[in-house]
Structure 1
């Protein structure tokens, strides 16, 4: 019986919006890169700062946001329990995380929802003073796939202006809540971003082509991510977070080849800002700092470090890449 070759090899359907899928990537031979201080593993701590920008009746959304500690929901009116959990992140949790970062002397990247920084400007001042990166995480913490293309374009524009106002620097990176098929096109169209992180498909940055322009992607991860404390397929205790983070780092340091890779850790002040969970984070940071081949880096520094070693196709230098992205 003859088999249809399309059964084994099927291309994406023409005319479907959004980027083409790439199921091959680097394959067996990724580029060999090294990070700051010749490190083999770059640990990238991300603080998803969203508190005060989430969907609430109080802000006129007519709905309460999720990611709550318990599987309860209040419909058709304000849910003060959910609102107060988010408030914990901006009132207490973020400052506990800052104390941990200060003690360990590590830089972090904020995926910053612009309105959240507007509503707690002391956080914007603190992260700017520390030299942390504020990457764009939307104007509000809203699903971009729910927006029209024009609405999303406007949301990106407003987020840039707001973050630049509160922190003193425009964002160089972008990661929104649930991207749309238009997100990457709009990020490249805007012209001022060095990278986006709206993907989960690699352990290394990579170049892609958007509208005849080179564009750098610095992937994110939802594995070592504290959202799993309150989701059904997640961590039952801080020890499980620590064990997952430790096993991830151990494998990346000894992954069977000489390739340097990145490790993403995702945090939310309302979740990891709680004492027991913060303790697991602090213990992992201390563990990672025992190794000479590990570096803690901001996401923007991973982007520039990678681009210097693996230039964009047909680009001679990182300076040309950055000029092109900002032209």
Structure 2
């Protein structure tokens, strides 16, 4: 248990750090900080980086939201918008896969079932190149309003599509726009999932009880998310790089005394553009210069935290 004296010493060290230039003070702080046994990653990592690669394109409904004005007349298909989505599986994911290989890291790909059925070879390639296939629903429909059995089938159908194409059975789940329903977690536990990511409440994974069994929560991000910042807020790639680096710097500093996880999210038709892949390489290379930073798939993070007796439980 942390005593008040220990707490004051730790927060005092952090306070001192905050008034010093970050680049010059970080090394000394790392040497001085007393790391609580309850804050360490069990594999010895100082900070864990969790990257999502959303595989959604090819499974979108007709006239789905796109950069084009939403002014199509009823009864007509938005053909240019369809090509924007096609970019995701024709160029975006292949480019990102090559970049992950170059950087030597593995990621988690949240796959929409209908997108996988339309491009099964690409889904299979993602898994064959060492990345995790996680479930992302059968299609872009909302699920929070479905009756129990209908929602269960919706999730199962998406799992089956991934299993059929890749041979990998997903253990992680991400609902459309994170909007799970009251029954979702019970269904996931019933179907043998280990974790979900539809949570923004912490900067580290934690454990909850679902059907009286442990279930991992691997928090997601909107702060370091291309669909939120690039497509939604119209950030430039330079702004995106700066924001993610600033997030990293703060979490790396905190990670001297506390278990920390940095999440980043990329979507096939956005994060797979040439400029964004270039930006991603800058970000990852920067992180790789810091000691104790590891890049993990979300299933790996879930396995670590579910076995960790010091994990936060809610």
1:229 aligns with 2:253: no
> Which stretch of the first structure deviates more once superposed, 137-146 or 299-308?
137-146
> What pairs up with 1:67-106 in 2 under 5 angstroms?
68-76=66-74, 77-106=76-105
Q: Given the superposition, is the C-alpha separation of residues 31 and 65 from structure 1 closer, same or farther in structure 2, using an over 3 Å criterion? A: farther
> What pairs up with 1:53-132 in 2 under 5 angstroms?
53-56=59-62, 64-66=63-65, 68-76=66-74, 77-132=76-131
1:49 aligns with 2:47: no
Spell out, residue by residue over 1:1-59, the C-alpha distance to the aligned partner (whole angstroms, 9 max, x if none): xxxxxxxxxxxxxxxxxxxxxxxxxxxx99413265x2211111100100111122xxx
Q: Larger helix proportion, structure 1 or 2?
A: 2
Aligned to 1:273: 272
State the 4+ residue runs in structure 1 displaced beyond 6 angstroms. Answer: 311-314
Aligned to 1:14: none
Tell me how far apart the structure 2 counterparts of residues 266 and 70 of structure 1 sit (CA, whole Å): 23
C-alpha deviation, 1:214, in angstroms: 2.3
Contact 1:235 1:241 survives alignment (8 Å): no
Tell me how far apart the structure 2 counterparts of residues 69 and 243 of structure 1 sit (CA, whole Å): 24
Contact 2:214 2:306 survives alignment (8 Å): no
Tell me how far apart the structure 2 counterparts of residues 245 and 313 of structure 1 sit (CA, whole Å): 25
Contact 1:50 1:116 survives alignment (8 Å): yes
C-alpha deviation, 1:235, in angstroms: 4.2
C-alpha deviation, 1:311, in angstroms: 6.7
C-alpha deviation, 1:189, in angstroms: 2.2
Q: Given the superposition, is the C-alpha separation of residues 311 and 159 from structure 1 closer, same or farther in structure 2, using an over 3 Å criterion? A: farther
Q: TM-score scaled by structure 2?
A: 0.82
Q: What SS class does the counterpart of residue 144 from structure 2 fall into? A: helix
Q: TM-score scaled by structure 1?
A: 0.79
Tell me how far apart the structure 1 counterparts of residues 275 and 171 of structure 2 sit (CA, whole Å): 33
Tell me how far apart the structure 2 counterparts of residues 33 and 157 of structure 1 sit (CA, whole Å): 35
Aligned to 2:12: none
What's the RMSD between the two structures over aligned residues? 2.1
Tell me how far apart the structure 2 counterparts of residues 195 and 89 of structure 1 sit (CA, whole Å): 26
> What pairs up with 1:247-266 in 2 under 5 angstroms?
247-255=246-254, 258-266=257-265
State the number of aligned residues. 274
Tell me how far apart the structure 2 counterparts of residues 164 and 256 of structure 1 sit (CA, whole Å): 36
Spell out, residue by residue over 1:213-247, the C-alpha distance to the aligned partner (whole angstroms, 9 max, x if none): 2222111111100002111xx24200111001101
Aligned to 2:40: 33
Q: Which runs of 5+ in 1 are unaligned?
A: 1-28, 57-63, 315-327
Q: Which runs of 5+ in 2 are unaligned?
A: 1-35
C-alpha deviation, 1:263, in angstroms: 0.8
